[in-house]
């Protein structure tokens, strides 16, 4: 983003604040040349974060996708929907704080595992074993859905 004041410098992000991990996102930017500071506000519609998948294709960041993967991993585990929503919120917040436009799917997977491990060991192992093989959350969801939907 080019600085409108000196017209030469570019704005660098110095601080990012989310609304409980979601939109709107406010970013503090500082011009690299004249040092002027601005806040920018981003909404989901105008600035969707994209996930870079392992095959280098991109898709919009989708929290419901992560949630579905978690629900499958937590099948019959003592984990509430509320806890899962909270976990996704934590992941979202961290992702938006560190990445501006694109985030590798690997990063999301690692974050999910980090928080899931604290929440439920069994769910963590389920998620990790499938995820590590697929290395991609969306692939994971598609692959695991039919398996877990089956009645025992």
Crossing angle between the packed helical segments 63-73 and 121-134, to the nearest 10 degrees: 120
Are residues 51 and 96 in contact, defined by beta-carbon separation less than 8 angstroms?
no
Which CB, 32 or 129, lies closer to Zn ion?
Answer: 32
Nearest to 107 by CA among 67, 24, 50: 50
CB of 62 to Zn ion, least distance (A): 36
Distance, CA of 92 to CA of 10 (rounded, Å): 26
CB of 12 to Zn ion, least distance (A): 11
Residue 15: phi, psi to the nearest 5?
-160, 145
Q: Which two tokens stand for residue 148?
A: 């877990």
Q: Is 111 helix (H, G, I), strand (E, B) or coil?
A: helix
Which CB, 8 or 132, lies closer to Zn ion?
Answer: 8
Which CB, 38 or 119, lies closer to Zn ion?
Answer: 38
CB of 6 to Zn ion, least distance (A): 3
Q: Which residues bind to Zn ion, rule: CB under 5 A?
A: 3, 5-6, 9, 31, 33-34
CB of 56 to Zn ion, least distance (A): 34
Which CB, 3 or 130, lies closer to Zn ion?
Answer: 3
């Amino acid at each position: 983003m080019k600085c409108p004041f000196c017209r030469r410098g570019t704005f660098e992000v110095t601080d990012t604040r989310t609304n409980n991990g979601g939109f709107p996102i406010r970013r503090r930017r500082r011009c690299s040349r004249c040092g002027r500071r601005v806040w920018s506000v981003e909404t989901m519609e105008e600035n969707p974060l994209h996930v870079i998948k392992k095959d280098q294709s991109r898709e919009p960041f989708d929290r419901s996708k992560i949630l579905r993967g978690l629900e499958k991993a937590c099948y019959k585990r003592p984990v509430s929907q509320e806890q899962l929503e909270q976990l996704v919120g934590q992941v979202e917040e961290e992702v938006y704080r560190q990445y501006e436009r694109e985030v590798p799917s690997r990063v999301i997977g690692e974050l999910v595992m980090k928080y899931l491990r604290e929440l439920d060991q069994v769910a963590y192992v389920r998620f990790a074993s499938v995820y590590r093989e697929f290395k991609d959350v969306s692939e994971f969801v598609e692959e695991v859905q039919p398996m877990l939907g089956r009645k025992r």
